[in-house]
Structure 1
């Protein structure tokens, strides 16, 4: 029986490999749209701006006070993301944590489309598997999108990952452990 822990909403099960494949397909689409040519650094603000301009998603930048408890909120059934103004501005300036937040919200849209729920960074007690957890899946998608497992040349440390892909040391550390376990490193 699964151990009780704080998780997000329960959704259909997705494995790391399934999420990795979805992130890689998304990178290919970004390239086809001319949004992203270099997968070492994904300009996530440009990605979300372009998707919004092309009417592929609906994005709204809101005053921080409007989302006082969340950095961003996604409604997959409405194909909409609300993002705190400070998070958006920081992502535009390459701040790793905020880049991850926006990639995470894009993950909700792509992975949880058709689900009538609003996804925000809230936690509650649940017994479902982490592979059935919306927040884990969106985190995994963000990590896989921002850290391309096919571009790990010369990566030897956690800091190498953080520097090369412009992610936080926390994100890089998690990715390093996962990629080492999976024999990518």
Structure 2
């Protein structure tokens, strides 16, 4: 199993914004989390198992979240999004199935992560993708997607 020091059971997950820590159970009631090594997670950076009410992050991803790396912060918030939005009913799509975008659980989790990490009212006050990425500690790609979703035009 994962590192018991990093595992859940009342311990804190790094927050999406800033250095505050949050209890996963406060935002996804009934959920716990674990951190597992790459040999156990393989290529998956994170996962949610609704039937177990468990969010799992790969060790290297968790460590980079603690180090405020944008892509990994987004991954963590994406997985929390699955827990919050999909609770016990995360529907996995069969390969090749393309539902309406808003019905896709991956699109929903990505949109949730973008909203948590980059609040709309603050993004609208920014002038460039670089400023958004720097201010919110996200990748330029994530900042560009958030602007596109919000219909905000900023400089590259």
**Shorter-chain TM-score category?**
0.7 to 0.9
Say how many residue pairs are matched: 141
- State the TM-score, normalizing by the size of structure 2: 0.77
Is 1:157–2:99 an aligned residue pair? no
Is 1:93–2:53 an aligned residue pair? no
Task: Point out the structure with the larger helix share.
Answer: 1
Query: Is contact 1:158–1:173 with CA below 8 Å preserved after alignment?
Result: yes
Give 3-state SS (helix, strand or coil) of 1:171's partner. Answer: helix
Match of 1:171 in 2: 142
Structure of higher RCO (CA pairs closer than 8 Å, 6+ residues apart): 1
Is 1:51–2:30 an aligned residue pair? no
Residues 1:103 and 1:123: Cα distance change in structure 2 (over 3 Å) = farther
Structure 1 unaligned blocks of 5 or more: 1-34
Structure 2 unaligned blocks of 5 or more: 1-13
Residues 1:53 and 1:174: Cα distance change in structure 2 (over 3 Å) = closer
CA-to-aligned-CA distance 1:142-180 (integer Å, 9 cap, x gap): 00110011223641111111011111010001112222x
CA-to-aligned-CA distance 1:90-138 (integer Å, 9 cap, x gap): 0001000000000000000010012166x6xx98211311111110100
